[in-house]
Amino acid sequence: MDPALLARLRDAVGADHVLTGGELAAWEVDWRRRWHGKAAAVVRPGTTDEVAAVVRACATHRVAIVPQGGNTGMVGGGVPDASGTQVLLSLQRMSRVRALDVDNLTLTAEAGCVLQTLQEAATAQGLRLPLSLAAEGSCTIGGNLATNAGGTEVLRFGNARQLCLGLEVVTPQGEVWDGLSGLRKDNTGYDLRDLFVGSEGTLGVITAATLALVPRPAATLTALAACADLDAALALLRLARARLASGLTGFELMARHALELVETHFPELPRPLPPTPWAVLLEFDDAQGESTARERLEALLAEALEAGTIGDAAVAGSLAQADAMWQLRESIPLAQARDGLNVKHDVALPVSRIPAFCAATEAALREALPGARLVVFGHLGDGNLHFNLQAPPGQEGADFVAAREAEVNRIVYDAVLAHGGSFSAEHGIGALKVHEMAARKPPVALALMQRIKAALDPLGIMNPHRVLPPAGG
């Protein structure tokens, strides 16, 4: 790295927070261990002004910046490329909760706050931050907003975008935009907040956010139900919506082979239901309290059993049992990672098209890749499936991905588009899906995005080659 830039970075954040040697894998390798980059330096600012100074220094020297939060992203957008020229900007030291306004139902926090810490801050005030994902113990709110994360409560509360009322952002020129509004209504021109949410570090650095909170429900109950097929799972969703209304906060789907993979890698986890082609995990919030909630949930499941929609069900009798049910669901990505590198999909579909999509795509994949193991699970309530493929037994995951990923993606994404879906529901584009953007995003939409990128980041220093293919090919 240019010594003049290095000196400016050290001036900006302190020499202890500019790392250029030693063990940098925690920042250079992604969670899936799929991308292995090399940073010119890892820079760890502690304040918004320090972020701005770092960005100005990099802009002067035309050096690219890759923002990073908890490094739990699934699409390789938060690690540097292999060139050794990019500055990895870690937001982890920016971890202060700036304000919690109980009457306004808002929380303002810095970008590096770990999601779970913010959930706990809300809980301590009798409130709730309704964004939940298995990585919540290490992902950051800045990363959640930069990826517009989804998770397990989207069907009731929306994704990270819906929870974001205001942002503070450092622009690619190193200016600070203070948009930390806690307003629910503010029609004063273009919505800059929504431009930065989901931009994956390509338009600026999110340094803080104001988030909407909700009251905590009097009771939350969790249940597992067994379905013979996806039509039955959809029938259960219809019934749950009708009987539980807005109390239904989670409706997660797990295929038998996904749970088998969990059993292989986490044999110690309890299995509340016998094996079933599809298991559904339901989460239900009730304002009336525990006994009414239990009555309503049990009545729903009894009705579904009676109708033959489900074959079996279990309602958690305690917090520990509810946690155990969620652990099964949340261990699926961990089991996949332990099993080896795999081909991951994060697709959105109209909920009504999911049975037809799955039947057609599974058949096509089984024909093209005999022996490959399908691991299907996801957020059925909001039409988001993880339609993943693990290498055939005995084959190295990395070899499988290198040899077959392009073909698998073509089969899956052709089917997704044919069924009216999207090739990225909640994980974003990162480095993984830039090719799909070029090939499948409508050209006018792509051109508009490229113009926005060029207008906001004319030097192209913010997370280059991520999200968008270069303009003009």
Give the residue from 272, 217, 273 showing the smallest Cα distance to 245.
217
Q: Are strands 384-390 and 347-348 parallel, antiparallel or unpaired?
A: antiparallel
- At residue 403, φ and ψ (nearest 5 deg) are -85, -35
- The yes or no reply on residue 386 touching ligand MLT (CB under 6 A) is yes
Distances (CA, A) of 113 to 79, 145, 239: 19, 12, 38
Q: Considering beta carbons, is residue 309 or 388 the nearer one to ligand MLT? A: 388
CB of 378 to ligand MLT, least distance (A): 6
**Quick one: which of 134, 314, 360, 398 contacts ligand MLT (CB under 6 A)?**
134
**Quick one: which of 163, 206, 261, 310 contacts ligand FAD (CB under 6 A)?**
206
- The yes or no reply on residue 334 touching ligand MLT (CB under 6 A) is no
Q: Which does 39 bind (CB under 5 to 8 A by kind): ligand FAD, ligand MLT, none?
A: none
Q: Provide the mask over 125-164, with x wherever binding to ligand FAD is found by CB under 6 A and - wherever it is not.
A: --------xxx---xx-xxx-xx-xxx-------------
**Quick one: which of 37, 70, 198, 381 contacts ligand FAD (CB under 6 A)?**
70
Contact (Cβ atoms closer than 8 angstroms) between residue 242 and residue 217: no
Q: Provide the mask over 379-418, with x wherever binding to ligand FAD is found by CB under 6 A and - wherever it is not.
A: ----------------------------------------
Contact (Cβ atoms closer than 8 angstroms) between residue 159 and residue 197: no
**DSSP letters spanning 229-267:** SHHHHHHHHHHHHHHHGGGEEEEEEEEHHHHHHHHHH-T
- CA-to-CA distance for 164 and 171, rounded, in angstroms? 18
Q: Considering beta carbons, is residue 73 or 272 the nearer one to ligand FAD? A: 73
| Structure token pair of residue 200 | 């994956």
Give every CB contact of residue 255 below 8 A, 6+ residues apart in sequence. 277, 278, 374, 375, 376, 377
Question: What is the size of the binding site for ligand FAD (CB under 6 A)?
Answer: 36
- The yes or no reply on residue 433 touching ligand MLT (CB under 6 A) is no
- CA-to-CA distance for 182 and 409, rounded, in angstroms? 41
**Quick one: which of 37, 45, 46, 78 contacts ligand FAD (CB under 6 A)?**
78
What is the torsion angle, in degrees rounded to the nearest 10, for the CA atoms of residue 289, residue 135, residue 198 and residue 70? 130
- The yes or no reply on residue 77 touching ligand MLT (CB under 6 A) is no
Q: Which does 397 bind (CB under 5 to 8 A by kind): ligand MLT, ligand FAD, none?
A: none
Q: Which stretch binds ligand FAD (CB under 6 A): 229-237, 357-365, 405-413, 422-430?
A: 422-430
- CA-to-CA distance for 412 and 41, rounded, in angstroms? 38
- The yes or no reply on residue 333 touching ligand MLT (CB under 6 A) is yes
Q: Which does 386 bind (CB under 5 to 8 A by kind): ligand FAD, ligand MLT, none?
A: ligand MLT
- The yes or no reply on residue 34 touching ligand MLT (CB under 6 A) is no
CB of 333 to ligand MLT, least distance (A): 3
Q: Which stretch binds ligand FAD (CB under 6 A): 66-74, 116-124, 214-222, 278-286?
A: 66-74
| Structure token pair of residue 310 | 């489900």
* Residue whose pair of structure tokens reads 């909001």 in the numeric block: 382
Sheet holding 86-90, edge to edge: 18-19, 39-43, 86-90, 65-68
In total, the chain counts a number of residues equal to: 473
Q: Considering beta carbons, is residue 9 or 322 the nearer one to ligand MLT? A: 322
Q: Which does 144 bind (CB under 5 to 8 A by kind): ligand MLT, ligand FAD, none?
A: ligand FAD
- The yes or no reply on residue 31 touching ligand FAD (CB under 6 A) is yes
3-state class of 95 per DSSP?
Answer: coil
- CA-to-CA distance for 160 and 95, rounded, in angstroms? 18
Residue type, 142: G
Distances (CA, A) of 90 to 13, 22, 24, 179, 325: 12, 16, 12, 22, 34
- The yes or no reply on residue 70 touching ligand MLT (CB under 6 A) is no
Contact positions vs ligand FAD (CB under 6 A): 31, 66-74, 77-78, 91, 111, 133-135, 139-140, 142-144, 146-147, 149-151, 200-201, 205-206, 333, 426-427, 430, 463
Q: Contact residues for ligand MLT (CB under 6 A)?
A: 134, 333, 346, 378, 386
